[in-house]
Every structure is written in structure tokens, then in C-alpha cells.
Structure 1
Amino acid sequence: YVLVFVHWLGSIRRRAPVLSAHHCLLRRAMSSVRVIHASYVNVPATAAPPPGPIKLTAMEAPWVVLPELQHVLLYEGQDMPPFDDILLSLRSSLAATLGSFAPLAGKLVHLEDTGDVAIACSTSDGVRFVVAECDGDMRHLAGDEEHDVRVLERLVPGVDMGELPTPVLAVQATRFEGGVAVGVTVHHGVADGRSLWTFVEAWAAACRGEAHAVTAPSFDRSLVKLPGGEELARSLLRKYAPNVPKVCCLTKVQF
């Protein structure tokens, strides 16, 4: 299948021109996204038990106030399988991938006794999987010089990250006429762009039936040795997120 568009929504927001009210109304009339249902994909029972709480280090703690990372991929093809078959493949391969990325199925929490922020993992956790449909034209959405940011934002799942605990990851599959969009939202305090792309590559490989195509990540905090250790991370949290568990995220660029 042809990948027609892939981009960080943050980049689009920064570059997108200001649209007139009339233009925006026309865009909304032309394209709409409707959520059909949502469910959860769990870590496989056969996977290794999730590790205990993974505390954010001083390299990660300041990022809890940044907006979430959002990534959308648009695929089209004349011989694509039925949407229900695509959903089944996406869900099963996501579950298999979470076996190696179990912390992404957890929640970001505030540990009151120590003041740390950590990823809490449990066998009952899962990744929210949203199913939606869009009546817009995928080619126009990807190819227009003035990207319809408001529709693109609806192709990724919304996650309230203003207060802990909060989910680490959510995904969305949206049906188009002759295509499908896969959107991913991840907390910036847990993953940077490269980390998110590594996960997406592993998920794509699992969807193609390629086992062990991506090296499994390590979540061993003992490998990270910084001057000041955990206390440095706590001091940075007090500086950048003084009201934790409430987190005042930096606002996104508005158009």
C-alpha cells in the first residue's frame, strides 16, 4: 500500500498559514471525522511481567510539561483489505509489539512519597485504540498546500495530559474511502521523536509478520548515571512542574 503522507503534527501547526473564517467553514463542511468506538489493547499474558515503576531521570523530567507527540500516517491502495481486517491486524500486531514495549501500555504517575514522576506498569493496563471514519479526500488532505490542520488533528487520539496519572500512549485507525490513517499520540515525558518512531517501526514489522525486526528497548534505569541522580530529577520537576500531579503543559501553537 502507498504511504501518501507522514508528518509530525507539531511541524504542520508551526508552518500552516492562517485560514480565513470562510475558508475554515468550507474545510469543515468538506471533511469530518467521526469516532465509531474505542477499546483497549493489552500487553500479552505471555509477555514478561512489567517492571516496577520506572522513574523519569533528569534527562526526561523537564519534558513532562511539553505537548504530546502526535504522528499520523496515511495509506491508500486499490487492493486494500476490508477495514475490519485491517483493524484485526493492527490490534493483534499492536498487542504483540507491546510485549517488548510494555511501559507504553502503562500510565505516567506521581509518586507522592518520593516526589518522583514514573511510568507505572501493570498487567491490567492497555493502550486505548480508537476507531473512526472520515468522509474527506485523503489525497487532498495530504497534498493541499494549506493543510487542513483541524482534520489532521482529529486523526490522532486525544489524551488529557494535564494531570497525573495519565496514559502514556493512545492510537487511532481512521477509515477513508480507499485508504486508512493510523494516528499515534504519546506523552513527551516518556518518548522523544526517535523513540516513538522505533515503536512505530516495530509495530509495522509485527503487522507484516516480521518477528524480531526491531531490537527490543531496555528500560533498565541503572544504566543511566547522572550527577545528582534521582534528587536532580526531583528538583527539575519542582522547577518545571511545581503543581504536580497537575501539569501545566505548554500550549500548542494556535491558528
Structure 2
Amino acid sequence: MPCSTMDAVTLVSKCTIFPSQKTSLSDLKLSVSDLPMLSTHYIQKGALFTRPHFSVIFSVRFPTSLIKRSLSQTLTHFPPLAGRLITDSDGYVYISCNDAGADFTHATATHIFVRDVIGSIDVPDHVKELFAFDRTVSYQGHFKPLLAVQVTELADGVFISCSVNHAVIDGTSLWNFFNSFAEVTRGVKRITRLPDFSRDSVLISPVVLKIPDGGPKVTFSLDSPLRERIFCFSRESILRLKDKTNNNPKWNMEGEIDIAELMGKQSNDPLKISDSKLTPLTENLTSEISSFQSLCALLWRAVTRARKFHASKMTTFRMAVNCRHRLQPKLLPLYFGNAIQSIPTYASAGDVLSHDLLWCAEQLNKNVKAHGNAMVRKYVEDWESDPRCFPLGNFDGAMLTMGSSPRFPMYDNDFGWGRPIVVRSGRANKFDGKISAFPGRKGGGSVDLEVVLAPETMDGLESDPEFAQFVAGN
């Protein structure tokens, strides 16, 4: 018997899941990358699956007991996610690895079909009901679990979501946990990518972040009207965009590949056979501008046009970068926690629109290239001189903030009945100009962009000719 009903989802049961073994891990001090996230919402990411044939694989009923047991076993390898935040008498914030447990929710939404999640032009509101801890601020991890898993049975599918405290992990750590959770559920005896809990880098600071009474609040409006769309870019269109950005002449004026020119290059640029397709090995050549930077430049120009600024208006394109490999000595790839910094690139609307894609991409490329060990350490020093929570939002109406990454292994999640159909996010940290990059659900190097904009700006983006020619289906 259901115990409560939300707009789109019926709650079946809710409980606390504890690690299968007691942890011996000491408390983990929050770093200068963790602490600014105390004012942001919990990260909300989830994956949509086709409904497994329960009568064959398990039983007639959904195997919630298996999912719970697997979560318990996975938490043994990720004990911070079963802990709570604590602040000591000196003001330092830690993750107390105290085995207090994570939330688990089993819900149903039998009136929602797979097509209702992926078939709409805009991301439908009912997708937001498939996540726990809606708009929960990370500071509340002092009083609430740091992780909540929700499993929602749909009419013909299953949605598995994780809501995780953003002061505890970034996207790299989140997807490592999600992948490990799936591995354990499908019966892998030993997870393949154990997290690293070291706390001995420059990111661990003696500086105290002063918290206002009542805890920090998010720095953006929760009530502004927004539209959210997923724009899909095939591998072919991304390669075409990259070549156009780099002024590579192998694409003709109609945007189609110039076969004669391509064939003339075969002796220098060998092709590889992959999935019965000929794929130019352009990613390994010496081109300065990457596919992703080309995509960011395309979006920067199109959104700037749609916002209809005066030429003198200063615009900002902000990109989150992983610092694990940028620091010297390097952090391990599976360092657990936040190891990200946000790089802003500034240009007037006039410059963004009067120059070509290459110019815009070069501005982004220059800043990303410059963000090495010295710059990471400078960001740390700057924060230490003015410790504060991260001001997330679009404060002057002219900002774009790119998060997540198409390199994250979002589709490497097989719980025992196949890979995800699609990945979606919740309502967390959404504001005008927030963009998230996902690997494309069609695979093969495709990319999906989750774009959140004011309604009138989204209308302009949808009708932008330069942008539309690279979107899948256009």
C-alpha cells in the first residue's frame, strides 16, 4: 500500500542503507575545492533503463532487495557517502565517516513511459520527481545523509538516480560511485576502480571558511522561468564543426564532406575501420582547437545572438576543469572529492559575434591551456585570501556556465539488464545559462548538451541557423 503520493511519483518505501562492513576510514577534511560547494545543491544524476524481464532474471516483482544489498556493499568501498558533515570547534568542516547510512527510496510512476522521458522537446517536469533531495543545499549534509538513491519503476522502464552532496564529490567521483554501484548489482565480485581518499595535497588548507548563521544559501534565483532542452550532436556533425572551426577545407560549402579532398589525404591521415564506418583520425592530429571547445564556441555565439546584447556588453563563458592531472604532483585519477576549478573567459558581445568560431574557440582554448599547476595553485591562494562559497548563477544576464563532461562514463552502468537508454539530471543548480555536457546516448563520440535558458533566449537558440546546422536531426 503506497504511503504518500507526489505529483508524478508514488512513494512505495523509504529506508536507510548502511555499509555492509564497518569503516576504519578517518574523518576527511573538506578541501578548497569542496568548501565552496557548501552553498550549492546536491548533484542529481540518474539513468533510464528498459524494464528487465523480471520473471526470467529475478522474480515477478522488482528486485529492490538486490538493489539495497548492492548499495550496502558499495558503500563499504565509499564510506564517506554513508557519513555526515561535521564542523569542529575551530571551524574546519569534515566528512565524518561514521556509517550513519544513505537514504534509499523505492517509488513507482506507472503512468510515465520511457517515451515520456526522452520524447519531449523540452525536458518534462515529471523527470525532476525521479530524484530525492530536491534543491537540498549541500551544507545540510550536517543534518541529512550525503547520498540518496531513488529507484522508480515506470510503465515500461526503470529510473535509478543518485543525489549526492556537492561538497563531498564532483562529477568524476560521482560517476565512479555510480559505475561501482552498477558493477556490484550485476554480480561483479570486486569493483574495478577503487576511490582514493588521500588528503595530502595543496587543496587541503589551514584557512577556515566562515559560515553565516543558518548556513549558506544558493546564490541564484529558484523562481525564474526557465526552459531546459537536450541538444544532440552526432560524431559526424562534431567532426564537421571542429573542421569548420579550424578552417579545415575538407568540408564543402554545403557542410558535406569533400570526398576527393579526403581521399587525397589518406596516405597522410590513415582511416580506421570502426563499426563498419570510415573514421578520420582527426582527434590525434595537431589541431589546436578540440571538438569540445568548438562546440562551446558554437554555443557561446548562438546564445549571445539570442540574448540580443549591445555590442559593448561583456559576456562570460565559464568552464569547469578537472585539476587532478593539472597539479604537480598529480592527484590520482580516482581522487575522491572535488578537484575542479571554474575558468572564466570574457569577451564583449561585439567581439563574440564579429569574429568567427575559431576566434571564440581560441579564447577558450588559451585559458584552458594556461590552467596548469601554477594556475591551480594561484586559484587556491586567491581563495585562501578571500574564502567564500562559490557564487553560482547568471548575475548580469550574460553568463554561460559549462559543467559535467562528455568524457564521464555515464553509460557504463549495467545493473544486470543492460546499459542506460538515456541519462538525465534533476532540478539542482539550474539557472539561465547553465549547460551540462553528456556523452551522447547514441554513443560513437556523440555529445548531448543539456541547455537551461530563459524562455525567450531558448526560442532564439532554436532558430539560430549556425547552431541548428550542427544539431542532430537538422
Instruction: State the Cα distance separating 1:205 from its structure 2 match.
Output: 0.4
| Contact 2:180 2:191 (8 Å CA) reproduced | yes
Instruction: Pick one of 112, 123, 146 that aligns with 1:168.
Output: 146
Could you tell me which residue of structure 2 aligns to residue 55 of structure 1? 29
**Per-residue Cα deviation, 1:115-173 (whole angstroms, up to 9, x for no partner):** 011111213x111001111121222222211221x211110112643543332111101
1:207 aligns to 2:207 (yes or no): no
Alignment of 1:134-213 (within 5 A): 134=109, 135-148=111-124, 150-158=125-133, 160-161=136-137, 163=140, 164-213=142-191
Q: Distance in 2 between matches of 1:180 and 1:92?
A: 18
1:65 aligns to 2:42 (yes or no): no
Could you tell me which residue of structure 1 aligns to residue 217 of structure 2? 248
Instruction: State the Cα distance separating 1:244 from its structure 2 match.
Output: 5.8
| Contact 2:44 2:162 (8 Å CA) reproduced | yes
Instruction: State the Cα distance separating 1:70 from its structure 2 match.
Output: 0.3
Instruction: Pick one of 75, 81, 102 that aligns with 1:104.
Output: 81
**Per-residue Cα deviation, 1:81-106 (whole angstroms, up to 9, x for no partner):** 55744211211111111110011011
Instruction: State the Cα distance separating 1:78 from its structure 2 match.
Output: 6.0
Q: Distance in 1 between matches of 2:74 and 2:101?
A: 12
Alignment of 1:229-248 (within 5 A): 229-232=204-207, 234=208, 237-238=209-210, 242-243=211-212, 246-248=215-217
1:117 aligns to 2:86 (yes or no): no
Instruction: State the Cα distance separating 1:41 from its structure 2 match.
Output: 0.8
Alignment of 1:34-49 (within 5 A): 34-45=10-21, 47=22, 49=23
Q: Distance in 1 between matches of 2:159 and 2:213?
A: 34
SS in 1 for 2:94: strand
Could you tell me which residue of structure 2 aligns to residue 22 of structure 1? none
SS in 1 for 2:205: helix
Which protein has greater RCO, CA pairs closer than 8 Å, 6+ apart? 1
Alpha carbons of 1:192 and 1:176: their partners in 2 closer, same or farther (altered >3 Å)? Answer: same
> Which AA in structure 1 matches 2:127?
L
SS in 2 for 1:231: coil
Alpha carbons of 1:158 and 1:141: their partners in 2 closer, same or farther (altered >3 Å)? Answer: same
| Contact 1:110 1:165 (8 Å CA) reproduced | no
> Which AA in structure 2 matches 1:165?
F
Could you tell me which residue of structure 2 aligns to residue 5 of structure 1? none
Instruction: State the Cα distance separating 1:231 from its structure 2 match.
Output: 2.0
Q: Distance in 2 between matches of 1:200 and 1:172?
A: 12
Could you tell me which residue of structure 2 aligns to residue 126 of structure 1? 101
| Contact 1:83 1:175 (8 Å CA) reproduced | no
What is the TM-score with the length of structure 2 in the denominator? 0.42
Q: Distance in 1 between matches of 2:67 and 2:176?
A: 16
Q: Distance in 1 between matches of 2:75 and 2:52?
A: 30
Q: Distance in 2 between matches of 1:153 and 1:50?
A: 36
Q: Distance in 2 between matches of 1:119 and 1:84?
A: 37
> Which AA in structure 1 matches 2:50?
E
| Contact 2:50 2:158 (8 Å CA) reproduced | yes
Alpha carbons of 1:250 and 1:214: their partners in 2 closer, same or farther (altered >3 Å)? Answer: farther
Alpha carbons of 1:224 and 1:166: their partners in 2 closer, same or farther (altered >3 Å)? Answer: farther
Instruction: State the Cα distance separating 1:251 from its structure 2 match.
Output: 3.9
Q: Distance in 2 between matches of 1:50 and 1:156?
A: 30
Tell me how large the CA RMSD over aligned residues is. 2.2
In structure 1, the gaps of 5 or more residues are 1-30
How many equivalent residue pairs?
A: 211
Q: Distance in 2 between matches of 1:84 and 1:249?
A: 40
In structure 2, the gaps of 5 or more residues are 1-6, 227-474
| Contact 1:165 1:245 (8 Å CA) reproduced | no
Q: Distance in 1 between matches of 2:79 and 2:61?
A: 25
